[in-house]
Structure 1
Amino acid sequence: MRIYIGNLPYSVTDDELRGIFGQFGELASAEVIRDRVSGQSKGFGFVDMPNHSEANAAIKALHESEMKGRKLTVNEARPRAERPRSGSRY
């Protein structure tokens, strides 16, 4: 199950996400989303947990918990919505 984590402190690393969610079970991946140019965190990330019951336990335990003074939003990730392609046309 893919889990969305929002309102992350900008200083959080992939390893910190692994540590927090790893308490609930096996992780396939953990990633803080970063700006392509600056490398700065965008304040959200994703964790993939193969076991749905462990993933649900993590969501229940961590949603609205506090991390470095910020209240986290944790829920099952939704598929990315289709967006119109950007680009200039001359």
Structure 2
Amino acid sequence: MRLYVGGLPYQTQEQDLRDFFEQVGQVSFATVITDRETGRSKGFGFVEFENEQDAHAAIDQLNGAQLGGRTLTVNEARERPAGGNRGGGYQDRSYGGGGGRNRY
């Protein structure tokens, strides 16, 4: 099960993210999303757990937790709908994003 992690300190590295979440269970994948041009963290990432029980425990235990003085948002990542303008991947529905002119 893949989780969205928002509110990451900008200096967080992938190993830091993995280490933080492995206090709950076995992490199979962790990534911090970075800006393509600058290489700087965008302040969010994704963590994937070996099993769903650990993933749900991570949501329960780490959503609202502090890391590097910042409050984390942890929830289940949702696949982006096909045909989006940014390609495939995962997206947190509470993140917002998207939009455009004349939206309403």
User: Unaligned regions of 5+ residues in structure 1, if any?
Assistant: 86-90
Partner of 1:72: 72
Question: Aligned ranges for residues 18-29 of structure 1 at < 5 Å?
Answer: 18-29=18-29
Alignment: residue pair count: 85
Pick closer, same or farther for the CA change 1:62–1:39 going to 2, 3 Å. Answer: same
How far residue 68 of structure 1 moved from its aligned partner, in angstroms, is: 1.3
CA distance in 1, matches of 2:21, 2:37: 28
Q: TM-score, normalised by structure 1?
A: 0.88
**CA deviation string 1:14-68 (max 9, x = no partner):** 0001101111111111000001111000000000102100111111100011111
User: Unaligned regions of 5+ residues in structure 2, if any?
Assistant: 87-104
Q: TM-score, normalised by structure 2?
A: 0.77
**CA deviation string 1:63-88 (max 9, x = no partner):** 01111111110000011234247xxx
Higher relative contact order (CA 8 A, sep 6+): 1
Partner of 1:36: 36
Partner of 2:46: 46
Q: Which runs of 4+ in 1 moved over 4 A?
A: none
Q: CA RMSD in A?
A: 1.3
Partner of 1:9: 9
CA distance in 1, matches of 2:63, 2:85: 31
